[in-house]
Structure 1
Amino acid sequence: MGNKIFFILLLVGLPLSLAGSLMHWPSVIMFGVYCVTIIALASFMGRATESLAVVMGPRIGGLLNATFGNAVELIISIFALQAGLTEVVLASLTGSVLGNLLLVAGFSFFIGGLKFKRQKFNVFDARHNAGLLIFAVIVAFVIPEVFSQTMTEAKTMSLSVGIAVIMIVLYLLALFFKLVTHRGVYQHKEGGGVVEEEEMPEWSKKKAIIILLLSTIAVAYVSENLVHTFETVAASFGWSQLFIGIIIVAIVGNAAEHASAIIFAYKNKMDIAVEIAVGSTLQVAMFVAPILVLISLLFPTSMPLVFTMPELISMVTSVFLIIVISNDGETNWFEGATLLAAYVIMGIGFFLL
């Protein structure tokens, strides 16, 4: 039923997106059309990555889901940088961290917990990711803010570029560690909670890859048009660029992970659900954000890796909360509700800011 709804939304949304952009329909209307279209496309990306996850295993599947899910946000952010909307880009990065750690993980734990009293996942992966989260968010994001207080803009940008390069290198090393040198070292039978029979993928490997590529191209086109509606929508509804970036862009840009992680959790595949939520956060912090810093050098307005204090405190709080909740390798619906409550509180704060 859900797949049919997304298919209908795509059949309606994509032609309307094309027609509206060519005929210059009102920005407020097109903002809604573009968001719905991106979410529908993201659902197909989610189904394709779920098929690939069955074929390639939870780690590769989770990585693919995070990568193609973040590709949506990366595309939106590049067009926003081109338009000089650096505040929106930084806010969307913050929103991705909060959305993945609190909203995606929260819904996954909550929905899965309603069906299963206890859900287990790989505790060794959780502890490994905890260290990377602390580095990526607390070290690499807080340091530029601290030093920028006594630096010129040029020096702050130089520091941001240096940190960006280091983070990209460390992220690639982390992938090499998990997928090559230590692949399977920390596997254990309780990783996904239940030993299941072999599952057949919905789509073949070739079909899933083709759908992923076509969806990404379509998302790129729609995202470029979406960015051009931000200023008009912000003025119409009284929203700040910070709120649009943290809540709207982050939710739309990460719709693929949102849907997929919840589906995997409902099926008690918690290794993949956690890998999507936490792995996507790590990818945003250690790869997407640094890449955007480097790409911004190509545009008139460069983007230093300097967040506002509310953004930093929210991200640091989210990291500590998810580490405390997930470090034991199991979860339940109440822990999911706790993460969701934290997200709502922060969302209210940014709305009123």
Structure 2
Amino acid sequence: MTGNGSVQPNEQSPLLHSHSHHDGSHSSESPYLSDSRFWVRLPYQTVHLTWATLASNYVHILLVFVPLGIVSGVLEWGAATVFVLNFLAIMPLASLLSFATEELSATMGQTLGGLMNATFGNAVELIVSIIALKDNQIRVVQASMLGSILSNILLVLGCCFLVGGLRYSEQSFNSTVASTMSSLLAVASASLIIPASLFAAMSGSYETNPDETRKNILLLSHGTAIILLLLYVMYLYFQLKSHSHLFEEGAEGDDNIENQAVVAEEEHHILGPFAAGVALVVVTILVAICAEYLVGSIEGIVEKTGMSKTFIGLVLIPIVGNAAEHVTAVVVAYKNKMDLAIGVAIGSSLQIALFVTPFLVILGWIMGVEMTLHFHVFETVSFFISALVVILLIQDGKSNYLEGGLCLGLYFILAIAFYVYPDNTST
């Protein structure tokens, strides 16, 4: 194995990487997989790869809901049915998207692989938000972005601390990385506080000249979005190139280095670059179709259940997009790999705050949709308090189950608050 889980050239076949090294032979594989006739070999390789991919995670059982979700949307079975079926369909698709991204990025080297993971790591939320933006549902987009951040830094991180803390009395992680992420979280929090504060300061002029105020907030949001994207690129270069040694798992101890070597030795990849690329395209198309029907059913769900768009975007949609990520983070925390768990939980939040949200603001600018970084005051304060709590908890580089309970407690308090929070509240 070479860096970032890639394999040596002599270990690769056109589509399927060899991963049956434990028995020292390929006798268990069908002879059709190595048949010289491509019209015989290709169908068998396709079936073999498809089965291996589907068997890689139990959550893929839920793929039966994908055709059901699409059919329900086409035949208009009702808002509740369409929402639930496509909600369940996107979960396994998100897992497959993450799987295909990891398989593809493993063959690209550390820098390009990291960029791939950064780009597609939150692809489900990005696709759902683009569709909502196209439908001019700005509240759904903003709530989805904020909900993804809060679910990662409170729900996922809290579960990691709690599950890991129940097995180990205290767990440690790279405090230098934690400090860097804390600083980025503070900047991300400020990027929402400043537009909200400016709007509050201009509240008098808003009553007399609302168009001018909205124009100023939009200008601030566009400028801030560009700056955040530049900061994100700088962070990627810092993490993947100039200071990559700080982010390597095991930078703080020999035991972790040994664990990393064991993980690298055990790691194998099912899909080659071509197969992973095809899977990525197919799954992305399916996610886009299901997301279209999911977003389209939100209005009906709001009318039928009384739930606000804010609650749906903040609590329900992030569960769909981050389900696979949530499970991964908790599992690695249980195995005492806290650097990886912190990277998944907080790293994903930073991607949303510094890349996805500014990107959507710029995309709205191009599409002529007034997507801004001006969130409601209550939402901005919620993000600030959550970021502050997490920054205080991770600064020392140690965690326990009590800290996990604190994160989860705050998340559920906010979930209850947003459940009763109306969409038509004034800013």
Question: Does the alignment reach a TM-score above 0.5?
Answer: yes
- For the pair 1:8 / 2:8, whether they are aligned, the reply is no
**Deviations 1:318-341 (Å, cap 9, x if unpaired)?**
111111111122212221121111
Q: 242, 252, 272: which one pairs with 1:189?
A: 252
Give, in angstroms, the shift of residue 111 of structure 1: 2.0
Structure 1 counterpart SS, 2:258: coil
C-alpha distance in structure 2 between counterparts of 1:107 and 1:61, whole Å: 27
Match of 2:191 in 1: 140
Q: Mapping of 1:273-284 within 5 angstroms?
A: 273-284=341-352
Query: 1 or 2 for the larger relative contact order (CA 8 Å, sep ≥6)?
Result: 1
- For the pair 1:93 / 2:145, whether they are aligned, the reply is yes
- For the pair 1:72 / 2:72, whether they are aligned, the reply is no
Match of 1:234 in 2: 302
Match of 2:359 in 1: 291
1:66, 1:276 within 8 Å by CA — same for their partners in 2? no
Gap change, CA 1:156 and 1:338, over 3 Å in 2 = same
Q: Mapping of 1:12-27 within 5 angstroms?
A: 12-27=64-79
C-alpha distance in structure 1 between counterparts of 2:57 and 2:415, whole Å: 31
C-alpha distance in structure 1 between counterparts of 2:103 and 2:393, whole Å: 29
**If the length of structure 1 is used for normalisation, what is the TM-score?**
0.90
Amino acid of the residue matched to residue 234 of structure 1?
V
C-alpha distance in structure 1 between counterparts of 2:199 and 2:327, whole Å: 38
Q: 280, 287, 295: which one pairs with 1:219?
A: 287
Which stretch shows the higher mean deviation, 211-220 or 182-191? 182-191
C-alpha distance in structure 2 between counterparts of 1:107 and 1:59, whole Å: 30
Give, in angstroms, the shift of residue 97 of structure 1: 1.4
Structure 1 counterpart SS, 2:153: helix
**Deviations 1:213-238 (Å, cap 9, x if unpaired)?**
43233212211111100010011110
- For the pair 1:318 / 2:386, whether they are aligned, the reply is yes
C-alpha distance in structure 1 between counterparts of 2:277 and 2:356, whole Å: 21
**Deviations 1:92-123 (Å, cap 9, x if unpaired)?**
11111111100111112222223333322211
Give, in angstroms, the shift of residue 316 of structure 1: 0.7
Give, in angstroms, the shift of residue 167 of structure 1: 0.5
Gap change, CA 1:213 and 1:199, over 3 Å in 2 = farther
Amino acid of the residue matched to residue 310 of structure 2?
L
What value does the CA root-mean-square deviation take over the aligned residues?
A: 2.7
C-alpha distance in structure 1 between counterparts of 2:118 and 2:254, whole Å: 19
Q: Mapping of 1:198-213 within 5 angstroms?
A: 198-201=265-268, 203-204=270-271, 206=273, 207-208=275-276, 210-213=278-281
Give, in angstroms, the shift of residue 204 of structure 1: 4.3
**Deviations 1:301-353 (Å, cap 9, x if unpaired)?**
31121011111111011111111111122212221121111100110111122
- For the pair 1:343 / 2:411, whether they are aligned, the reply is yes
1:142, 1:312 within 8 Å by CA — same for their partners in 2? yes
Give, in angstroms, the shift of residue 156 of structure 1: 0.9
Amino acid of the residue matched to residue 325 of structure 1?
L
Give, in angstroms, the shift of residue 71 of structure 1: 1.1
Which stretch shows the higher mean deviation, 218-227 or 144-153? 144-153
Gap change, CA 1:152 and 1:315, over 3 Å in 2 = same
Give, in angstroms, the shift of residue 184 of structure 1: 0.7
- For the pair 1:36 / 2:97, whether they are aligned, the reply is no
- For the pair 1:248 / 2:316, whether they are aligned, the reply is yes
1:49, 1:64 within 8 Å by CA — same for their partners in 2? yes
Which stretch shows the higher mean deviation, 106-115 or 120-129? 106-115
Give, in angstroms, the shift of residue 203 of structure 1: 2.7
Structure 1 counterpart SS, 2:350: helix
Residue segments in structure 2 that go unaligned for 5+ positions in a row: 1-53, 203-211, 422-427
Gap change, CA 1:252 and 1:132, over 3 Å in 2 = same
1:48, 1:211 within 8 Å by CA — same for their partners in 2? yes
C-alpha distance in structure 1 between counterparts of 2:167 and 2:115, whole Å: 25
Which stretch shows the higher mean deviation, 321-330 or 62-71? 62-71
Gap change, CA 1:192 and 1:225, over 3 Å in 2 = farther
Match of 2:207 in 1: none
**If the length of structure 2 is used for normalisation, what is the TM-score?**
0.75
C-alpha distance in structure 1 between counterparts of 2:105 and 2:187, whole Å: 28
C-alpha distance in structure 2 between counterparts of 1:101 and 1:81, whole Å: 25
1:97, 1:281 within 8 Å by CA — same for their partners in 2? yes
- For the pair 1:261 / 2:326, whether they are aligned, the reply is no
Amino acid of the residue matched to residue 109 of structure 1?
F
**Deviations 1:111-142 (Å, cap 9, x if unpaired)?**
222333332221111001111110111x2111
Give % identity: 38
Give, in angstroms, the shift of residue 69 of structure 1: 3.6
1:102, 1:340 within 8 Å by CA — same for their partners in 2? yes
Q: 147, 157, 165: which one pairs with 2:218?
A: 157
Which stretch shows the higher mean deviation, 200-209 or 18-27? 200-209
C-alpha distance in structure 1 between counterparts of 2:307 and 2:256, whole Å: 42
